[in-house]
């Protein structure tokens, strides 16, 4: 984990959830804002309003540098990419391999599991060695082989975080569309706030993957778990794991969380 990664996460104001005092959202907008909550919680933005509560200039600079979005045209291009492509298919085989590692680990006798975790973390990787083609995974995801190796080596730790405290067994997550859908809803909020699109267009753009999300998952915790999985495949580090898991766990336990008040279905 690099120093800049640690510093970047330390600067985020995400030790607690943030709420707008007077959110004015239609039922459809509330659902889409809730869909964006995993990223809003991570960034320290409002989790209950289309507005983010972030400084407009910082927001403008941030999405320009991270997303290349500077106006309506670039926003529409990026939104279209998230709907039509995103990362979900590129990450599928890596996620399936991680699930197999987890299943192999969980099916082993408890004593063997405990010893392997302490002494020989690669034991379960050896069991599936013919299926763990790091170079192929790197080619599919656009990650480097060392990045894939770091992600795979830490599988027991971060997949365990999906199970506890997020309460979602990794086997339940069969689709990573949440990683794209949460970002699409968030990007649409930012576009409204910066004037790239009108407020009346928010639901149209933010909801581009809503149908797939409702088909892929049964509840908000599964959305959070799938988002965390996609986010760690995108960029794995101890700092990201800690921040993603912690902020999504807040969404699950805070009584004020939109997860508590906005039905998934």
> Is the same domain home to 166 and 181?
no
Residues 115 and 61 in one domain: no
Residue 57 lies in a domain: yes
Domain residues for the domain of 202 are 23-88+176-217+243-261
| Whole-number pLDDT of residue 2 | 41
Q: Is residue 46 part of a domain?
A: yes
Are 39 and 71 members of one domain? Answer: yes
**How do residues 50-107 score in pLDDT, each as one tens digit?**
999 999 999 999 999 999 999 999 999 999 999 999 999 999 999 999 998 898 888 8
Compute the distance between CA of residue 230 and CA of residue 49 in angstroms, rounded to an integer. 24
Question: Quick one: average pLDDT of 39-47?
Answer: 98
- pTM, full prediction: 0.91
- Per-residue pLDDT tens digits for 179-205: 999 999 999 999 999 999 999 999 999
3-state secondary structure 133-192: CHHHHHHHHCCCHHHHHHHHHCHHHHHHHHHCCCCCCHHHCCCCHHHHHHHHHHHHHHHH
Dihedral sign computed on CA atoms, order 92, 97, 102, 108: positive
The reply to whether 167 and 187 lie within a common domain is no
Same domain (yes/no): 168, 182: no
Are 145 and 107 members of one domain?
yes
Contact between residue 230 and residue 90 where contact means Cβ atoms under 8 Å apart = no
Greater pLDDT, 123 or 157: 157
Q: List beta partners, residue 251.
A: none
* Same-domain check for residues 113 and 76: no
pLDDT band at 122 (very low <50, low <70, confident <90, very high): low
Same domain, 134 and 110: yes
The dihedral formed by the CA atoms of 94, 96, 101 and 104, expressed in degrees to the nearest 10? -170
Residue 223 belongs to a domain: no
Q: Is residue 83 a part of any domain in this protein?
A: yes
Choose one of 172, 197, 232: the last residue of a domain: 172
Q: Are residues 153 and 52 both part of a single domain?
A: no
User: Is the separation of the CB atoms in 228 and 162 below 8 Å?
Assistant: yes
Q: pLDDT-based confidence at 9, cuts 50/70/90? A: very low
């Amino acid at each position: 984990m690099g120093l800049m990664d640690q510093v970047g996460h330390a600067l985020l104001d995400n030790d607690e959830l943030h709420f707008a005092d007077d959110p004015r959202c239609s039922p459809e907008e509330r659902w889409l804002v809730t869909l964006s909550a995993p990223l809003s919680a991570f960034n320290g933005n409002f989790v209950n309003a289309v507005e983010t509560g972030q400084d407009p200039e910082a927001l403008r600079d941030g999405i320009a540098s991270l997303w290349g979005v500077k106006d309506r045209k670039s926003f529409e291009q990026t939104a279209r990419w998230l709907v039509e492509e995103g990362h979900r298919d590129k990450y599928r085989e890596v996620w399936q391999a991680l699930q197999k590692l987890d299943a192999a680990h969980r099916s082993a006798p408890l004593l063997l599991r405990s010893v392997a975790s302490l002494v020989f973390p690669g034991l379960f990787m050896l069991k599936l060695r013919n299926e763990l083609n790091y170079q192929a995974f790197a080619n599919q995801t656009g990650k480097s082989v060392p990045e894939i190796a770091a992600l795979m080596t830490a599988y027991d730790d971060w997949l365990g975080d999906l199970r506890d405290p997020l309460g979602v067994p990794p086997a339940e997550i069969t689709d990573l569309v949440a990683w794209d859908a949460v970002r699409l809803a968030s990007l649409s909020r930012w576009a409204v706030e910066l004037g790239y699109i009108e407020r009346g267009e928010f639901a149209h753009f933010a909801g581009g993957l809503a149908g797939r999300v409702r088909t892929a998952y049964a509840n908000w915790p599964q959305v959070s778990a799938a988002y965390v999985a996609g986010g760690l495949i995108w960029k794995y580090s101890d700092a990201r794991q800690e921040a993603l898991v912690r902020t999504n766990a807040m969404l699950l336990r805070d009584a004020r969380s939109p997860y508590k008040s906005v039905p998934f279905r």
